[in-house]
Structure formats: structure tokens, C-alpha cells
Amino acid sequence: MHSKKQLLLLLILILTLGSCSSEETKRPNILFIMSDDHTSQAWGIYGGVLASYVKNTGIKRLASEGVTLDNMFCTNSICVPSRAAILTGVMSHKNGVYTLGDALAPDTLNIAKLLSGAGYKTAIIGKWHLKEEPTGFDYYKVLPGQGRYFNPVFKTAENWEYGWKGGKEQKGFSSDIIGDESLEWITQQDPDKPFFLMTHFKATHEPFHYPARHAKLLEEVEVPEPSSLLEPYPTKKGRTFKGQLLENLTERWLRYQAEPDKFWTDYPGMPFDVKGLDSVGIRKKSYQKFVKDFIRCGAAIDDNIEKILEGLEKSGQLDNTLIIYTSDQGYFLGEHGFFDKRMMLEESSRMPFVIRYPKELPKNKRNNALLMNIDIPALLLDFAQVQLPKHIQGKSFRELLIDDELQGRKYTYYRYWEHSPKRPAHFGVRSKRYKLIHYYGKPLGMKSADKQVTVPSWEFYDLEKDPEERSNLFNDPNYKKEITLMHAALVKEKAYYEDHLEPVPDL
């Protein structure tokens, strides 16, 4: 009798351990949520002058229940190339997507194909922007090009046509539809099989439209300005390129008002008037309109993050779903007097990033390891227990999300290919403290690049003493040693990633 009890206890123990092992090794669902240009300054969890003015309930929940990355950087700060890097885990010169004019070849190996081959159900809903038909996804419902904010057209496998052709109009606001469609797809999945869903919002891309419910957000408020809003150009210790000035956006608003039927888009909050204002007054007034439109547009994303989290919670799938929210790159919100992105400066190249998976990751934690967007597919494959293909240039950072003692990269590498006189083509490296950029200023035959060559220049920043990057120290003799070391790192990193087009010049 005694031996029978022992045998029974042993069987129970084996069954219990077996179920625990099965639960521990169960692969998570993966929900990858990405917006367009929703820069860290407008998230409210990264500090800055806008922190207390943005609507971020959903974002704050993700951050409080997961890990926030402080130093995730894109490798080419513009929509199409950045998305291609995130899908493929390799840089522009490896995936063939250098500029806005390029397309991702359908036969390219991407994260969706790898996860699908490993048994995941895969889908992408929202912005695609890579021109050719999406591949690797069991289901897709994507916007043509940038798509529209209101009553957008979506294309599926049933009505796909290249370019702006094909698709079907759907009534409503883009962010809300993408959120609803994502939840609907999730509810249709077999709960016993893992899914991988890319939910890609069009927001907060120009023209920064927002739904009526957010039209009065900050209406009577004067939003604080970044300290570099009125930064002059050129300066003895300043940037070496002119950049996309905020006045260019002002001009777009005025041109749209003058000939609305002939302009490429429309804008919210019109009319806009700058009559009687001097140059300082125009920039300040333009900043107020621009940043309020941007925050209102971002508020609709946050609404839908809340909605998706609540939907997953109700269905019992929340804690078994690894959830990421990020943006394809950063964006200037008046810093240096700029809007838009493209440059290696912090506001443009930093990707805000939060990740939630309570079965493994700590809650309410910050991580300042240096990371690159090509690392994202490697991380997802790690969680999905899929072997990393040798050609992928990124590295998983799963362990360092848990262990503070582990370090990320020593340097991040960046290269922008879509040359123009005001925003020259460049490459550079960043360490925790320093940044070195070389503006080589050549088109190199790239699509969408301007053929006008610009004078090469260097910029070097001490990010500890000058986090706003307002003092270019490249010619400061006190930093000769640091610049020499960063130059050597640039040569090494460029070679490591097999980026051989246009050499690093000697100092």
C-alpha cells in the first residue's frame, strides 16, 4: 500500500513538472505595435518640455508593466529604410532599401517568414510603405503608400494592386480602424497557436491629422518651447548643414491654403495666419500649431494602445503576449528649429521603445544599453525559440532586459543615403558619451537623392556635457584624443557591417 502511494505521488510530481515545463517553454504571442515618427519627446515617459502635455495613458501602462529602452537607435532615419531594417535585421546596404524611392523585394527573408516557418500565424495591419506586396504574412491589410487619415483605403490579398491602385475604402479615422482591425484579427486566432501581429499606425506622420475628439486638446495652452527652437545657422560651433527648418512647414500650410486642390495634402486646424509677424514670431507661432497637431495625432495612437490592452486582457491573452510599442524613427519637434527626421542627431535617430512580457521581464524598469533597430528581429526570434540566421546583422538583447550587469553595444552605427543640399548624406558612430558624424554629401546614384554635391564636413558632440548637441567640438583641441578614438571606431564599425561604399576619410 505504501509503495502504491509513493508511485502515485511520483506520477503526480512527473505530471506537475511536465506541465510546468510546458508552460515555461510555451512560446509567446508577439504583438509589435509601431507608429510613424511618434518621437520620444511626445511620449511623456522620456522627460522633456512636453512630458506633462501629452496624452499617454496606454504608453504609461506599458512602461509601468514592462521595460523602457532609453537608447534604441535606428540605422537610417527615414520611413521606408527603417521599416526594411526592422523587418530584415540587416542595414540598408544589405536589404537594398536605401531611400524613400526603394522597395523591399518580395523574395527578401524577413521576420514574418521566419516566424511563419516556425508555426506562428502572421499578419500586418496598417502602414506597410515598402511598395511591393507584403510577403511572409498569412494575412495583411495595409495602406497604399502613406495612406489617408480619414476614410482610408486598405489593400488585402483579395484586391492587391501595385501603387495607389486596388484596395477598399473604410469609413473612420485611420488609427481607430487599425486598432479595431488588429483586435478583430487577434480574436480569430487559435488560442493554442502563437501569433505574430504587426500593428502599424500611419500616425503621427505629416499632415498630423487627429479625430474630432482630440480637436480641443491643449486649445488654450501655450506649449513650452525647446531651448534650441531659435538656434541660428551657421554658428562657429554649430551644425554644418541647414536642415529642414520649421518655416518650411509654415510655407506648406500657406501654400495649401492658397491652392488646396493643387497641394499634395491637406492640414488640420486651418486657417493659419502669420501676417505682421517677424521671423521669430513666425517660428514661435508655427511651433505652437505644429506641436499641438502632433500631440493630438499621437493621442489617437494612445487611445488605441489602451483599447488593444483592454481587449487582450478581456480575452485572457494579455500576459502570454509579448507587446512592443515603438516608432520607426524619431522626429524633430522644433529642436534646432527643425521638423522632420533623417539626421543622426538625437531627436531624429532615437527610437522610443517599450516592451511588456510579465512572464519574464521586470516591471517599471529602464534600460540604457545602446541598441539598434536591426536588433529587434533577433530579439523576437529569441523569444519565439527560432535560430537566428547567420546573415542577420542584429543581436538579441533578451538577457540584458533582465540583467543590469550586461552591456549592449559599445557603438551604434548610422548611415543616411538620401542626399540633399540641406540634409547631406552622412554616416557616423555613437558611444554612450560621444558622437562623430561625417557628412560626405554625395548622391552615389541613390534613388530620390539630389545630384548636387555638398562640401564634406565633420561634427563631434560630447553628449554628457551637451545632450542637446548644440556645440560641435570637432575642431576643439581638448577633444583630439576622443575624436581620434571615435574616428577609429567609425572605420571599424563601417567595415564590420560591410558597408564599403564611400570610405571614411582620414582626419
pLDDT digits (tens, 9 = 90+) for 377-403: 999 999 999 999 999 999 999 999 998
Total domain count, the chain: 1
Residue 481 neighbours by CB under 8 Å, 6+ apart: none
| pLDDT 10s digits, 404-421 | 788 889 999 999 999 999
HSE-CB at 19 with a 13 A cutoff on CA atoms is: 5
**Structural domain contains residue 229:** yes
Q: What is the pLDDT of residue 26?
A: 87
Question: What's phi and psi for 256, nearest 5 deg?
Answer: -65, -40
CATH of the domain at 217: 3.40.720.10
Report pLDDT digits (tens) over 443-470. 999 999 999 999 999 999 999 999 999 9
| DSSP secondary structure string for all residues of 69-103 | EEEEE-SS-SHHHHHHHHHHSS-HHHHT--STT--
Residue with cell 511626445: 42
Q: Are 470 and 231 in contact (CB under 8 A)?
A: yes
Q: Which of 295, 315, 280 is nearest to 223 (CA)?
A: 295
* Contact yes or no for 229/334 (Cβ under 8 A): yes
Q: Which helix (H) or strand (E) holds 32?
A: strand 29-35
Say how many C-beta atoms besides its own lie within 10 A of residue 436's C-beta: 27
Q: Which residue has the cell 560641435?
A: 472
Rounded Cα gap, residues 336 and 356, in angstroms: 33
Segments forming the whole domain that contains residue 74: 27-496
Tens of pLDDT along the chain (507 residues) come to 444 444 333 333 333 334 333 444 689 999 999 999 999 999 999 999 999 999 999 999 999 999 999 999 999 999 999 999 999 999 999 999 999 999 999 999 999 999 999 999 999 999 999 999 999 999 999 999 999 999 999 999 999 999 999 999 999 999 999 999 999 999 999 999 999 999 999 999 999 999 999 999 999 999 999 999 999 998 888 899 999 999 999 999 999 999 999 999 999 999 999 999 999 999 999 999 999 999 999 999 999 999 999 999 999 999 999 999 999 999 999 999 999 999 999 999 999 999 999 999 999 999 999 999 999 999 999 999 999 999 999 999 999 999 878 888 999 999 999 999 999 999 999 999 999 999 999 999 999 999 999 999 999 999 999 999 999 999 999 999 999 999 999 999 999 999 999 999 999
Does residue 257 fall inside a structural domain? yes
187 inside domain = yes
End-to-end CA distance of the chain: 85
DSSP code at position 228: T
Q: Which amino acid is at 310?
A: E
> Is residue 2 domain-resident?
no
For residue 25, the model assigns a pLDDT of 60
Q: Say what the pLDDT of residue 10 is.
A: 36
Residue 395 covered by a domain: yes
- Whether 16 is in a domain gets the answer no
Q: Note whether residue 432 is domain-resident.
A: yes
| Alpha-carbon distances of 453 from 438, 442, 501, rounded to whole Å | 14, 5, 16
Does some domain include residue 13?
Answer: no
Do 67 and 401 form a contact (C-beta atoms < 8 A)?
yes
Q: What pTM does this model have?
A: 0.94
What CA–CA distance (Å, rounded) separates 268 from 390?
47
